[in-house]
Amino acid sequence: MKRNRAFTLVEIMIVVLIIGILLAIAVPNFIKARESSRTKTCIANLKQIDSAKEQWAMENKKTTGDTCAFGDLVPDYMKAQPSCPSGGTYTVGAVGTTPSCSISGHTL
């Protein structure tokens, strides 16, 4: 006698349950890692803006409080204006202040 070799409904349900448990563990960790990466990239961009602004201020004999814009920094001190990976916008700010991002929590 030949016996059919097939999965039973219970076996398939167990496999689906295991996959569901793995997804429930993996997806939140993936989302958390992605947001952490975006925050770190944003902070690195803010440091780059701050460094370029300080170089610009020294070379142009600017003092604390003098205004600075991206137009002053690109292309001489930065290749291009960076963009926030989370969709925020950067503000260069005056000399002596730290640049900022419109996304709260992304600070230098």
CA distances from 76 to 64, 72, 79 (A): 21, 8, 7
In a domain, 108, yes or no: no
Average pLDDT over residues 36-50: 95
* 100 vs 56: CA distance, rounded Å: 18
Mean pLDDT over the full length of the chain: 92
In a domain, 4, yes or no: no
* 46 vs 98: CA distance, rounded Å: 8
**Burial label, 54 (beta-carbon count in 10 A; 0-12, 13-18, 19+):** middle
In DSSP terms, 48 is beta-bridged to none
In a domain, 82, yes or no: yes
Buried b (16+ CB within 10 A) or exposed e, 61-91: ebeeeeebebebbeeebbeeebebbeebebe
Q: What tens digit of pLDDT does each residue of 87-102 get?
A: 999 999 999 999 999 9
In a domain, 77, yes or no: yes
Quick one: tokens of 51?
Answer: 């460094």
Given a cut of 90, whether residue 108 has pLDDT beyond it is no
Residue 82 — φ and ψ, nearest 5°? -70, 155
pTM over 0.85: no
Q: What tens digit of pLDDT does each residue of 6-40 get?
A: 889 999 999 999 999 999 999 999 999 999 999 99
In a domain, 79, yes or no: yes
Domain region containing 43: 9-101
Q: What is the pLDDT of residue 1?
A: 63
User: How many domains does the chain contain in total?
Assistant: 1
